[in-house]
């Protein structure tokens, strides 16, 4: 069955963080909710869970070497005076 679910993205500035999510998911949006960053995605619950990596970068704080080779930008979020950029690991189904 297809569904839209919410996944918390742990905040680890400039470091990879992982979430388990159903294979073939379609990311819809990332926003701040109750002080946490969350991803909403269309998933198919019949698909197996896979681990996907995310990275949170702050404006002006630098980009780790090689990050852009394996990750792509999915969302920029303004949170008070800060601006954050969420990158997701590239993948193919």
- pLDDT tens for each residue of 37-60: 999 999 999 999 999 999 999 999
> In degrees rounded to 5, what are phi and psi of residue 49?
-75, 140
- Per-residue pLDDT at 90 exceeds 90: no
The pLDDT of residue 77 is 93
Burial class (CB in 10 A: 0-12, 13-18, 19+), 71: buried
Q: Check if the beta carbon of residue 43 is closer than 8 Å to that of residue 3.
A: yes
- Residue (of 15, 9, 6, 28) closest to 62 by Cα position: 15
Q: How many residues does the chain have?
A: 93
Q: 30 forms bridges with which residues in the sheet? A: 39
Instruction: Give me the chain's average pLDDT, please.
Output: 91
Judged against a pLDDT cut of 80, whether residue 11 lies above it is answered with no
């Amino acid at each position: 069955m297809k569904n839209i679910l919410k996944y918390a993205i742990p905040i680890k500035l400039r470091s990879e963080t992982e979430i388990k999510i159903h294979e073939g998911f379609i990311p819809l949006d990332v926003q701040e909710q109750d002080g946490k960053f969350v991803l909403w995605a269309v998933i198919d619950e019949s698909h197996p869970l896979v681990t996907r990596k995310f990275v949170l970068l702050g404006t002006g704080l630098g980009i780790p070497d090689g990050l852009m080779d394996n990750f792509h930008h999915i969302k920029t979020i303004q949170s008070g005076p800060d601006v954050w950029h969420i990158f997701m690991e590239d993948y193919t189904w």
